[in-house]
């Protein structure tokens, strides 16, 4: 029997690119990413095809998450940010698809194989801003620290993006990353995935029964999410929750009919506080350093 198509965390980037391509094809698309399909290739298509029912939820989740992060980036730029550092950039194409200032410095950092693939498949495409790509394994603390210092030496107002990165790191690695970013005053904001403790438990139960994702487990599991980051010098400036944003955008959660019926029934029977807990169970946080 063949093993799962997702062999490591980097493979999830191909899945994400397919979901972005799926959103682009919708008549009511929240964003357009014309390069996503080119980057995803046949490998990405095969991964999503193998997901079957889970692909509908994945595409829904990616659409809302991308919309949220795009908004954070636009607001930060409007507020004076002159550099974006995308750590674990994967197959993201924001420097091409977003209307960004030509003077904006955008730096992508990822494993050498991902950087090489993007250089190859996006050859001939023109970004809207000053794009740099750096091949680096971010787990190498000394090289990471040196990179952050070099970036900060040339930019004074930096936004850091770690989309879909932090959940795959353990608590110690997230703390070390938070400390390394906090050590450079030029890093003004940091966008991070949020999962409540309850959502993480549910996610793990699903993944334990989903062999397709066994090679890309979620590891980050702080006792108190926001307290964890405060202990490392970061406080939330703004938090946007995916279920709430989906309601606002009139994008109901994408589940098969039987599961939708089950969720609706559960919502009717559940207490109001239980429903509110779900609405704030996962999303994205814009952090800023504690003064």
Q: What CATH number does the domain containing 175 carry?
A: 3.40.50.150
Measured CA to CA, the distance from residue 279 to residue 277 in angstroms comes to: 5
Residue with the two structure tokens 């970013």: 181
- Categorize the per-residue pLDDT at 271 as very low, low, confident or very high, splitting at 50, 70 and 90: low
240 DSSP β-pair partners: 284
Would residue 28 count as lying in a domain? Answer: no
Top-confidence residue, 4 or 220: 220
pLDDT of res. 123 = 96
Tens digit of each residue's pLDDT (9 = 90 or more) over 29-69: 999 999 999 999 998 898 888 877 678 888 999 999 999 99
Average pLDDT over residues 102-126: 97
Report the share of the chain in percent with pLDDT over 90: 71
Measured CA to CA, the distance from residue 31 to residue 165 in angstroms comes to: 21
How many domains does the structure of the chain reveal?
1
Tens digit of each residue's pLDDT (9 = 90 or more) over 40-49: 999 889 888 8
Tens digit of each residue's pLDDT (9 = 90 or more) over 116-161: 999 999 999 999 999 999 999 999 999 999 999 999 999 999 999 9
250 DSSP β-pair partners: none
Contacts of 104 (CB under 8 A, 6+ apart): 77, 82, 83, 84, 129, 130
Mean of per-residue pLDDT scores for the chain: 88
- Categorize the per-residue pLDDT at 281 as very low, low, confident or very high, splitting at 50, 70 and 90: confident
Specify the pTM.
0.89
Nearest to 83 by CA among 18, 190, 143, 159: 159
pLDDT for residue 209 is more than 50: no
Residue 160, SS3?
strand
Range of the domain at 129: 81-289
- Categorize the per-residue pLDDT at 208 as very low, low, confident or very high, splitting at 50, 70 and 90: very low
pLDDT of res. 197 = 85
Would residue 209 count as lying in a domain? Answer: yes
Would residue 63 count as lying in a domain? Answer: no
Q: Are 96 and 31 in contact (CB under 8 A)?
A: no
- Categorize the per-residue pLDDT at 109 as very low, low, confident or very high, splitting at 50, 70 and 90: very high
Would residue 18 count as lying in a domain? Answer: no
pLDDT of res. 136 = 96
Angle at CA 13, nearest 5°, toward 21 and 188? 100
pLDDT for residue 229 is more than 50: yes
- Categorize the per-residue pLDDT at 205 as very low, low, confident or very high, splitting at 50, 70 and 90: low
Report the share of the chain in percent with pLDDT over 70: 82
Angle at CA 227, nearest 5°, toward 226 and 228? 90
Would residue 3 count as lying in a domain? Answer: no
pLDDT of res. 171 = 97
Q: Which two tokens stand for residue 171?
A: 């608590």
pLDDT of res. 216 = 56
Would residue 32 count as lying in a domain? Answer: no
- Categorize the per-residue pLDDT at 274 as very low, low, confident or very high, splitting at 50, 70 and 90: low
Q: Are 245 and 63 in contact (CB under 8 A)?
A: no
In the sheet with 282-289, reading across from the earlier edge strand, the strands are 130-135, 105-110, 83-87, 158-162, 187-195, 282-289, 234-241
Would residue 16 count as lying in a domain? Answer: no
Would residue 210 count as lying in a domain? Answer: yes
Q: Which two tokens stand for residue 271?
A: 């207490």
Residue 90 buriedness (CB in 10 A; 0-12 / 13-18 / 19+): buried
């Amino acid at each position: 029997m063949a093993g799962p198509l997702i062999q490591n965390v980097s493979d999830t980037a191909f899945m994400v690119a397919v979901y972005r391509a799926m959103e682009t094809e919708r008549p009511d698309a929240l964003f357009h990413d014309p390069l996503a399909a080119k980057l995803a290739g046949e490998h990405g298509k095969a991964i999503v095809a193998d997901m079957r029912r889970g692909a509908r939820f994945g595409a829904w989740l990616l659409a809302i998450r991308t919309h949220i992060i795009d908004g954070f980036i636009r607001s930060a730029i409007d507020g004076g940010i002159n550099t974006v550092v995308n750590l674990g950039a994967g197959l993201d194409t924001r420097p091409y698809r977003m209307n960004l200032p030509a003077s904006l410095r955008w730096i992508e950092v990822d494993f050498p194989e991902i950087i090489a693939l993007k250089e190859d498949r996006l050859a001939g495409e023109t970004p809207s801003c000053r794009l740099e790509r750096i091949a680096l394994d971010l787990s190498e603390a000394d090289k990471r620290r040196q990179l952050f210092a070099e970036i900060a030496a040339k930019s004074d107002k930096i936004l850091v993006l770690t989309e879909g990165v932090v959940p795959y790191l353990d608590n110690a690695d997230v703390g070390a990353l938070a400390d390394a970013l906090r050590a450079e005053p030029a890093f003004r904001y940091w966008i991070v995935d949020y999962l409540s403790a309850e959502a993480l438990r549910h996610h793990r139960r699903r993944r334990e029964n989903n062999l397709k994702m066994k090679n890309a487990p979620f590891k980050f599991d702080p006792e108190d999410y926001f307290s964890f980051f405060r202990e490392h010098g970061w406080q939330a400036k703004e938090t946007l929750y995916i279920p709430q944003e989906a309601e606002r955008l009139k994008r109901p959660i994408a589940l098969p009919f039987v599961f939708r019926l089950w969720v609706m029934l559960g919502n009717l029977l559940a207490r109001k506080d239980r429903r509110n807990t779900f609405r704030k169970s996962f999303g994205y946080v814009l952090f800023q350093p504690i003064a």
